[in-house]
Amino acid sequence: MVNEEESEAPVELRPMLDYRAVQTWLEGLKSHWGGDPATDDPERLPILEAFCRLMNRDPDQVIKETTMIKNGEKRIRVKGRERYANAINAWQETIQGSRIRQAKWGNTVRSFLIHNGVLLQSGVHQG
Amino acid sequence: MEFKEVVGRRRSIRFFEPDRPVEREKIQKMLEAARLQSCAVNAQWARAVVSFRDDLKPDQLKRLLTPVAALNVEMAPVHIHWFNDLSIVNKIQGSRLRELVDVGALAPTHGWSHKFVDEFVYPQILKPMTEGPAYPVYSTFDVGMAVANALLAGVDEGLAVCMVTLNGEVLKEVFKTPAEWIPMPTILVGYPAENWDGGGQRPRPPFEELYFEGEYGKPFPRDPKVVEQLKAAKMIQEPARPHSPERIAEIKRLADKYGLPM
């Protein structure tokens, strides 16, 4: 569905905390909401890792594909952002469980992008 | 509600109760307030298309969603899309100024007459103005004032309101507006899912940086006694504080309730 280049070798992922974009995400969560984002939700990092495997990209690559530097300024790649937004929406629908659980999985990845400066919004998901 | 409190209570609310409908009469009151706003040469450039979200076809609603405003648009049950009708001045050709002369709003005491409107104001000022590059700017100022009245009327009715900018070309297509109407911002309307206070009055630049007396650079002095009066009248309210634990808890609650990312 999402991996358009089927010939690509599967991405080899290091522990999620090794990636700069993941560190940025957790720093953003801590700064905005408090707590210890590395441990307060044991599902957080595995969910991101599952999405990265689906997309065959590591977390830093995901951010690289949704942002760029133009004239010295960070910009959002419109097509990259849209591609990932659609991929998250589609992936979320495939998650087993309630709509709330589906939303949690999608929103975890959205949160990763948001705290890396990529604006994304979800729809309303009520139980 | 007293006027000053209405001004003080207005917030851009971004969490609406998505399933709580808004009474039609409250929307009408917002439009009535817009219509009564001051307007240069009484031209009335402001136009609006009221859209009840649940009356839109799914593909129409989807087209309205922009990256920044998608969630707000989906949550708000009513959208009032504003437009600037640039054609109006050349359609009415000064007739509304003549009405003002007739009712004594513009009087000979100030030099006004039908003849002045017909022979000077319209042909020598207004018509050339419509051909100049600044015309959309002048007229948009007046639309903004009408929209501000509508916002405040909404607050007075206990509604949550928020201005957003949607894709103008999409608005023109979805709502089939005339070519000469320029899309302006949209007011989203509903009932607040968050506390009306929204965490407090939003930050503004210091008064002295914005307003001057006599000439630029000499701030208009801000009298603390007046500030106290306005606090008593609830126009100046508790400011929103950075990283307020109460506000953070409220947003977490809303994120949980509506399944939103954090």
CA distance, residue B107 to nearest chain A CA (Å): 55
Looking at chain A, which residue has its C-alpha nearest residue B259? A125
Residue carrying the six token digits 């109407």 = B181
Q: Is A115 on the interface with B (CB under 8 A)?
A: no
Residue A35: both structure tokens together: 């707590």
Which chain B residues touch A120 with a CB distance below 8 Å?
67, 261
Residues on chain A touching B67 (C-beta within 8 angstroms): 81, 119-121
SS (H, E, C) chain B: CCHHHHHHHCCECCCECCCCCCCHHHHHHHHHHHHCCCCHHHCCCEEEEEEEHHHCCHHHHHHHCCCCCHHHHHHCCEEEEEEEECCHHHHHCCHHHHHHHHCCCCCHHHCCCHHHHHHHHHHHHHHHHHCCCCHHHHHHHHHHHHHHHHHHHHHHCCCEEEEECCCHHHHHHHHCCCCCEEEEEEEEEECECCCCCCCCECCCCCHHHHCECCCCCCECCCCHHHHHHHHHCCCCCCECCCCCHHHHHHHHHHHHHHCCCC
Q: Which residues of A touch B260 (CB under 8 A)?
A: 107, 122, 124-125
- pLDDT at residue A99 in the model: 87
Put simply, whether A108 touches B (Cβ < 8 Å) is: yes
Q: What is the pLDDT of residues A90-119, one digit of tens each?
A: 999 999 999 889 999 999 999 999 999 999
CA distances from A99 to A38, A94, A123 (A): 25, 10, 12
Mean pLDDT of B181-195: 98
- Starting at the earlier edge strand, list the strands of the sheet with B160-164: B46-52, B78-85, B181-190, B160-164
The chain A residue lying nearest B75, using CA atoms, is: A124
Q: Which of residues 14-73 of B touch A (CB under 8 A)?
A: 18, 67-68, 70-71
Its ipTM equals 0.83
Q: What's the token pair of residue B24?
A: 């039609």
Q: Give the position of tokens 């999409």.
A: B170
CB pairs under 8 A between A and B: 51
User: Using one digit for the tens of pLDDT, what is the confidence trace for B1-29?
Assistant: 999 999 999 999 999 999 999 999 999 99
Cβ–Cβ < 8 Å for B188, B17: no
CA distance B76 to B17: 7
Helix (H) or strand (E) holding A76: strand A73-76
- Is pLDDT at B205 greater than 90 in this prediction? yes
- For residue A4, the model assigns a pLDDT of 54
Averaged pLDDT for residues B166-195: 98
The model's confidence at residue B152, banded by pLDDT at 50, 70 and 90, is very high
A110 touches chain B (CB under 8 A): yes
DSSP label at A95?
A: S
Block residue for tokens 């940086």: B209
A96: DSSP letter: S
State which residue of chain B sits closest to A32, comparing Cα positions.
Answer: B243
Check: CB of residue B79 under 8 Å from CB of residue B51: yes
Residue B189 tokens, joined:
């309307």
CB < 8 Å to A99, chain B: 259
Please say whether the beta carbons of B172 and B181 come within 8 A.
yes
pLDDT at B246 over 80: yes
Chain A positions in Cβ-Cβ contact with residue B71 (cut-off 8 Å): 121-124
Domain spanning B3-89+133-196: CATH 3.40.109.10: yes
